[in-house]
Chains A and B, each alone.
Chain A
C-alpha cells in the first residue's frame, strides 16, 4: 500500500527560526515521485518541488531545502530563516508505479509569528 505520513499537524515558530517539516512515505514500487505543495490561506495549492526515486540529491532553492533519504523513506523540507509569508499548510505527496493518483499526506500547518 502507498501512504504518506506527515506526523506534525501544526508547527509554530518565531520569525527567522529554521523549521523542518517531516514527510515519511511508503511504497513497494522502485519508481516513484515525491512532491511538496504549499497551501496559503487563499486555498490555492502551489507546487514547490518534485523528486523522483532515482535522484537522491538534496536540493536547495533560496531559503528552502529538501532532504530525500530512501534509506528512511523520508523527504523532509526545511525552511531557513522563516518569514511570516511562509505561514501556510504544507503537503507532501507521492505518486508510485502505474498509479496515476497522487497520495497526499494530511499536511502540516506552519505558523510563523513575527
Chain B
C-alpha cells in the first residue's frame, strides 16, 4: 500500500513568488491535514480537509490556502512568499474524520526555501 506522497520534495523560491505543494493521501483516506515545521516553532497546524471541505484552520495568514479534490488529493498554496515561510511542509492523511484522535500517516514533506 503506497504511503502519503508529497511533491515536490525540495524547492527554492524567491520572496514575492507563490508556491503550490501537492499531497496524495493513502488510498481510501479521506482526511488530509497540513503542517508547517520550522526549527523555532516546531510543528504548526495549517488546515485539515475532509471530503473536499476545509474542517479546521490554524492561525496562519490568508496567504496560506489549500484545497482538496474529489479523489482526496490535496494542494496547498502560499502566495507572496516571505523569508519566514522557509520550512518543511508536511501532509498527513487518516482514514476517518476522527482526525485529532487517531493515527496520522505522514508524507516525507516538501522542503521550501525562500531566498
Question: Interface residues, chain A, CB within 8 Å of chain B?
Answer: 33, 37, 42-47, 50, 52, 91, 93, 95, 99-102, 104-107
Contacts and interface: CB of A to CB of B under 8 A. Distances in A.
B102 A50 contact: yes
Interface of B: 3-4, 42-45, 48, 55-56, 58, 88, 90, 92, 99-109, 111
Closest 7 CB pairs of A and B: A45-B106, A104-B43, A100-B100, A106-B42, A43-B109, A95-B100, A47-B103
Contacts of B56: 100-101
Contacts of A52: 101
Contact of A45 (B48, B90, B101): B90
A82 to B, nearest CB: 23
Contact of A101 (B100, B107, B109): B100
B103 A50 contact: yes
